[in-house]
Every structure is written in C-alpha cells, then in structure tokens.
Structure 1
Amino acid sequence: MRTKCLKPFPMELLQQWQMSFLQVQWKQLENLFPRLLTVGQRFTFLKKIKDFRISGILKYQNMEAKFKRNKNTNQGFTGFLTSNYYNDKHFLSIQATYQVFNGYQVRAQGKTTQKMDCLAFILGKDFFHQRVNLSVQYVTPRLFLDGNSISKTESEAVSSYDFYDINETIRHSLMFTFSYRFHGGKSVRQYNRSMQEEK
C-alpha cells in the first residue's frame, strides 16, 4: 500500500488571507461603532518656598468623534493654580486656588462644552493632637469665563440645544467640613545599634 503525501498549504497565502479578513472585519466595525480620538498635553509644576507651596497644572485637549457621515471636534484648556501655607506650630492651613474646570465632551452627533473659572479659599485647623480637623471653604463667582455649560446635538432625526448656568450653582458657596480620626496610627521604634556593641 502506497502512501501519498499532500503538499503543505503555502503560509504566504494563509497570511494574506488573514490580513484581508482582518481588514474587512475592521471596516465593518468602523461602520457599527463611532470612533473617538483624544489628543492632549499636560504641564505640571511644583515649587516650595519655606512654609508656602505653589503647584499648578495646565492641560490642553483636542477631541474628535466620527461615525459614518457625522463628525465633531471639541478642544480647549483646563487646569488650576494653588498656593498653600501650613503652620506646623499652630496646625493651621490656608489655601487659595484659581481653578479653570472646563469640560470638553464630544460625540459623533454633538458636543458639550463647559467653561467656568473661580477662586476658592480654604481655611483649616487641627485640634486635639490632630485628631479633629475643622475647615471652611468659600468659592467666588466666575472671573473671566462665561460660567455656562452648552450641549448641542445635530443629526438627521433630531436637533437640540441645552444651556446650563454653572456660575449660579456654585458662586458664593460656603462649605464647612468636620473630620475626626478614630485611630492614632502605628508607632514605629527605631534602633541604631552597631555590630561592635553586640559582640
């Protein structure tokens, strides 16, 4: 009985078939799901001068959403600048922050943009061996930005425009915070002994 050996299937043809199959599948997925692309850059700095600490973050975002014939982009800056002072002797903390909490969201058929900036002042103090902390926070009205949230939707089936005033919600807000620490934490003992003393 003679055995006939079959020729192996060419691997190059198999790889080409797999690549073409993946390309077809990817094109089908692009037609079913929207594509969201976000590109951004972030800058951070920290500076300490005696009891003062200055920190800040500046971030830029460029967002793009695409689905079939619909396409939208949205971009802008966000960030904050904070100055913090802490007195070790009196366990007192004073903080002033200028914050730009802009929000940028994008969809294939619309986008939402939030622009708000303000100053926030925080005063805090520890009591009873730092077990109790009391703090108060005050937020000013908007400074340079409009303080609004605008959402737009444009499609063949529906068109909408939503407006919300963020400044009216948070301006002149005052918040008190009380916190109590139940556990004192673990104490750590340090021994500095030389090898000659143990001999």
Structure 2
Amino acid sequence: MIPPVPADIRLLGITGSPGVGKSTLAAALGLPVIPMDGFHYADVELERRRLLHSKGSPDTFDAEGYAALLRRVKACEWNVVAPMFDRGLEQPLAGAIPVPATGTVVTEGNYLLLNQPRWSAVRAQLDVVWHLVVDDAVRIERLVARHVAFGKNPAQARAWVARVDEANAARIEEAARRADVVVDLSEWVPPRTPPA
C-alpha cells in the first residue's frame, strides 16, 4: 500500500535499489518530480575521472549540485529548473524540468540515504524519505529488460546488472535503515497510462 503524502511536505524523497520502481511510483503520485539521474556526470567527465566503467555508482553523480538544487527548491525559490537524464542519449540534460515554487515536490534516486557527507547533504534537504522494496528476482528482470531496451544485448545487460547494479543495490539496502518509511511495492499495480 502506498502511504499518503502529508500535505505539509515540501520535499519527498523516494529511494530504493535499481529497478525497484522509483520513477514509476514518483510519476504515479501526480506531483512534480526531480530525478537524481539528472545529476549524472556526462560521459566525457566520467572518462576524465576514469569512472565510465562504473557509471551509476555514487561517485559518478554531482551530489553537491543535487543538494544545492534541492536547497533552492526547499527555500521555495522561483525559476528553479532541474536537469534530467535522457536514456536514449545516456546523458544528462541541463535545464530540462521547471520546478514550482509552491507545493510538494518529489525527488527520486538511488542514493538519498547514503551515509557519506556529500549524500548526507542531499538527505538534509528532504522532509521525508520512502525506501521502496520489491522481490529481487522481479527487480533484476526489470533491470535486464531496461538495459536491453536501451541497446545492450541480453548477455551484456546481465553482466552489467551483476557487476554494477547489484553492487549499488547492496549499498542502497545497507542505508535503508535511515528511511522514514519502507514501502513494499510487491502487490502494487501501477496505474495504466492512457493511450496518446
């Protein structure tokens, strides 16, 4: 069961392991969403840092920039525009998501609860954090399907999930004790999107 979003919340964080359904749930809430994935470093920067092989791990994100943007949202600043991640390009796009200065805003991503200074600065901006869980077998199959849909062959997809995504999942689950609420999505059926 999805808990109701309290009316006095400005920033709701949604976290969980890769493939758990963070983006799907965030979209289903009908609120503005800031995806953590928009704060990926671009591949050119990952190459410079020699981190392209571990793209998606905590050190491949601009956590400081993410915390700064959330601070502006929390302060109800006008004209805040967040970046997004384009899965077709596999790159972040700056200035893509206008964020309203009033009401509740959702931010979703893997590392909202990570106990590292740069990620704790993100957590400090959030009023409430939900940690999502689902059966690991279901989650892993979703991940493999996602990687295949965006260009990897099935063997490459499974290798990436095993080497990168599951190492990240272990970090995320270790940090889950810092969540305000744990939400089990095992029985949740996302609402169907009407055809365009």
TM-score (norm: length of structure 2): 0.21
The structure that has the greater radius of gyration is 1
